[in-house]
Structure 1
Amino acid sequence: MSDYGGSQAHIMTIQYCFPEDNSSCRKEVRTGTGNIFLFTLLSFISVCTVFLNLLVIISISHFKQLHTPTNLLILSLAVADLLVGLILMPVNIMGLIDTCWYLGNMACAAVLLINFFSLAASLCSMMLIAVDRYIAVNDPLSYSTKLTVCKTTIFITFEWTFCLLYAFIFLYFNDNLHPSQNMNRCHGECVMYIKYQWMIVDLIVMFVTPCSIILILYSFIFNVAKQQAIAVRSVLNTTSNTQRTKVSISSETKAAKTLGIVVCVYLFCWIPSYVSNLLVENISSLSLVWNVFGWIAYINSSMNPLIYAIFYPWFRASVKYILTCRMLQSSSSRFNLFV
C-alpha cells in the first residue's frame, strides 16, 4: 500500500471490517504524520467548500436585489458544489482514512448517486449560464422579457430532473445500485465500477457535448460583445439611450468574462480525470489515480465562489452583511448591494 503522506514512515494496522463475517473486507487504517497532514488538508478544503458555497446560496436567496435569472443559475451551481463539499468530500476522506464501509449497500448506492448527480448538475448549470449570457449579450435590450425568473426556475427544475435520471441510469447499467448486482468483492466495501463503454458514453454526454456548447456560446458572446462595442463607439450622437446600451453591453461582457473563467477552471480540473479514465479498461474508485484526479475535480467546487468573490462586488458586499450579522435586520433583504 502506497504512503499518501510522502517519505515519512508509514504505519498501517490491518484488521477486518466485520470480524464475525467470513466475507468481510480487510480493514486498512492509515496513520502517520504525513497521512494526518493530508487528511487535515482535505478536511479544510471540504469545510471551505461548504462555507463558501453557503455564502453564495444565502446571498442570492436572501437579498431580493440578487433575484435575477443569472444569479438563480449561479445559485443552482452553488447548490451542486455544496453537495460535493458536504457529502462527497467527507465520504472520500473517510475512505482514505479507513477503507471499510459501515453504512450498508443502500447508503453506498445513495452516495454514488449523489456523486454523479451533483457533478452532472454542476456542468449543466454552467451550460445554462452560457445560454443566459449569450441571450444577454446578443440582445441586451429585450433580455429581461426573453428570460424571466419564472422561466429560469423551470429550466433549473428540468436540469436537475435530467441529471438525477441520468445518474440513476448510468449507475444502474454499471451494476452499482442493485445489491444483488453490486460488484463489491467483500462485505464492508463501497466501490464504484464503471465499464469502459459507459465511460465513453459519460465522456460524450456529460463532458464533450455540454463543454462544446459552452465554448461555442462563449465564442459567440465575446464576438458579439466586441462588435457591439465597436458599433457603440462609432455612434456620434451620444443620446441617453445609446449610453444606457453601452453600459449594459459593458456590464454583460464583464459578467460573461467572469463566468468564462469559471468554465476554464472547470475544464482545467476535469480534463485530467477524463483523460486518465479513458486509459483504463474498467474504472474503479479504489485506484490511486481515481482519488488523485478525483480530488482535483472536487476542488473545482471550491474555486467557483472564490472567483465570485474576486470579480463580483455584490458578492463581497453580501458576505460583509452576512458575516457582520446585519442580514438579521428586518429590512436587510432590500439592502442595496451595488452602491
Structure 2
Amino acid sequence: VSISQVEYEESDDVLYCFPDLRDSCPRAHKQTIIRVVMYMFMLATILVTVFGNLLVIISICHFKQLQSPTNFIILSLACVDCFLGSLVLPYSMMRSVEGCWYLGQAVCTLHSGLDMTLSVASILHLCLVAVDRHWAICDPLRYGIKVTTSTVACGIGIIWLFSFTFSFCVLLSKVNLVGMEAFIQNECVGTCLLIFNKQWGVIVSLVAFFVPGTVMSLLYLKIFYVARRHAQSISDRFTAPSAPQASEQRERKAAKTLAFVMGVFLVCWLPFFITTIVDPFLGFSTPYSVFDALVWFGYFNSTCNPLIYGFFYPRFQKAFKMIVSRYVFFHTADFKGVTF
C-alpha cells in the first residue's frame, strides 16, 4: 500500500472505489451539480459524435452522387469516429465523472486498446484525406489514374490494420511500461489509465500525431498555394469584373476551409500529445483532471468532423437536410433523381 493510501485510510471522509478492498483507489469527491454538468456535456458530445457521423455514413451509402474515392475515405473516417463515440466514449465518461473504473483489468485493456486504435485511425484518415486533396488539386490530370476505388480501399485497409496492430501490440507487450515497475507497484485497484514511459511517449506521439500532422500541414499549405495560383491565373485571363470577384471568393472559401480543418485538428490533439511527451520527463506530475480534460479535447475532434462537412460542403449539407427531413420529421421526400 502506498503512503498516499495510508494517509487516506486515516481519514473518515475519504470515499473509495471499492470500500471492501484494502488497495482500492480513493474516489475523487465531486459536488452533485458538477457531476450532472459533466454527464450532460459528455453525453451531448457522445450523441453528436455518434449521430453526426451516422449522418455521414447514411449520406454516402444512400446517395450514389456522393460515392467517390474521396468520399469513401470520409465514409471510413466516419465509421472510425462513430465507433469511438459508441464503444469508447461512454466508458470514458463513466471513468471521468465517477473517478473510478469498475469493469476490471481485462475490459480496461480492451477499452484502452480500442481508444488508441480508433484515435490513431481517425488522425491517419485525416492525413489520407489531405493526400487525396493534394493529388486532386496539384495534379488534376493524373488524379483519376492515381486515385481509384481500389487504391483508396488499399489505403484505408492499411490504416485500419496498422492502427489496430500498433496499438494492441504496444499494450499487450507492455513496452510502454518498461522502467516504470515502481510506479506500477503502487497502482491501486479501480483505475484505468493509459500511460507511457519516456521512450514510448515520444514514439507514440510521433507516429500518431506529429508525423501525420506535419504531412497534413505541408500538403494543405501547398494546396492553398496552388489554389491561389489557379485563381489568380483565371482572374488574369478574364477581363469581366465578375470573374476576378468569383475567383477571390473561391480563394477565401478554400482558405477558410483549410484553416478551419487544420485549426480544429491542432486545437483538439496538440495539447494532449505535448503532455504525453513531456509528462514522463516531469515524473507524471500532470494532475489527473487536466490529463483527462486533454483526452476529451482529442475526442472532440471526432465530434467536429461531421460538423465540418455539414458547414463547408454543400453536397453533404443537402444530403443531411434531406435525411433529417425524411427520417426525423417524417416528410415524404423522394430521393430518386436528386442531383447534388
Q: Structure 2-normalised TM-score?
A: 0.80
How do residues 54-65 of structure 1 correspond to structure 2 at under 5 angstroms?
54-65=54-65
Q: Per the alignment, in what secondary structure is the counterpart of residue 336 of structure 1? A: coil
Q: Counterpart in 2 of 1:187?
A: 189
**Structure 2 letter corresponding to 1:169:** C
Say which of 233, 243, 249 aligns to 1:231.
233
How do residues 1-339 of structure 1 correspond to structure 2 at under 5 angstroms?
14-17=15-18, 19=20, 21-27=21-27, 30-171=30-171, 172=173, 173-175=175-177, 185-235=187-237, 258-281=257-280, 283=284, 287-325=288-326, 335-338=337-340
Q: Per the alignment, in what secondary structure is the counterpart of residue 140 of structure 2? A: coil
Q: Counterpart in 1 of 2:9?
A: none
Query: Is the 2:16–2:24 contact (alpha carbons within 8 Å) kept by the matching residues of 1?
Result: no
Distance 1:16 1:49, change over 3 A: closer
Residue 274 of structure 1 and its aligned partner are, at CA, apart by 2.2
**Structure 1 letter corresponding to 2:193:** V
Q: Distance in 1 between matches of 2:271 and 2:298?
A: 9
Distance 1:285 1:276, change over 3 A: closer
Bigger share in helix: 2
Identity of aligned residues (%): 33
Q: Per the alignment, in what secondary structure is the counterpart of residue 45 of structure 1? A: helix
Q: Per the alignment, in what secondary structure is the counterpart of residue 188 of structure 2? A: coil
Q: Could you give the per-residue CA deviations for residues 251-291 of structure 1, whole angstroms, max 9, x where no partner exists? A: 89966863552222111111222233333225599712211
Residue 51 of structure 1 and its aligned partner are, at CA, apart by 1.4
Q: Distance in 1 between matches of 2:36 and 2:164?
A: 35
Residues matched between the structures, number: 314
Residue 117 of structure 1 and its aligned partner are, at CA, apart by 0.8
Residue 45 of structure 1 and its aligned partner are, at CA, apart by 1.6
Q: Could you give the per-residue CA deviations for residues 15-64 of structure 1, whole angstroms, max 9, x where no partner exists? A: 45262x55444455644222212221221121111111111111112211
> Mean Cα displacement is larger for which, 113-122 or 183-192?
183-192
Query: Is the 2:57–2:79 contact (alpha carbons within 8 Å) kept by the matching residues of 1?
Result: yes
Residue 222 of structure 1 and its aligned partner are, at CA, apart by 1.5
- Structure 2 unmatched ranges of 5 or more: 1-12
Query: Is the 2:130–2:219 contact (alpha carbons within 8 Å) kept by the matching residues of 1?
Result: yes
Query: Is the 2:224–2:254 contact (alpha carbons within 8 Å) kept by the matching residues of 1?
Result: no
- Structure 1 unmatched ranges of 5 or more: 1-11
C-alpha RMSD of the superposition: 3.5
Residue 120 of structure 1 and its aligned partner are, at CA, apart by 0.7
Q: Distance in 1 between matches of 2:251 and 2:68?
A: 13
Distance 1:30 1:13, change over 3 A: farther
Q: Could you give the per-residue CA deviations for residues 234-253 of structure 1, whole angstroms, max 9, x where no partner exists? A: 44799xxxx9xxx9xx9899
Query: Is the 2:38–2:97 contact (alpha carbons within 8 Å) kept by the matching residues of 1?
Result: no
Q: Structure 1-normalised TM-score?
A: 0.80
> Mean Cα displacement is larger for which, 89-98 or 255-264?
255-264
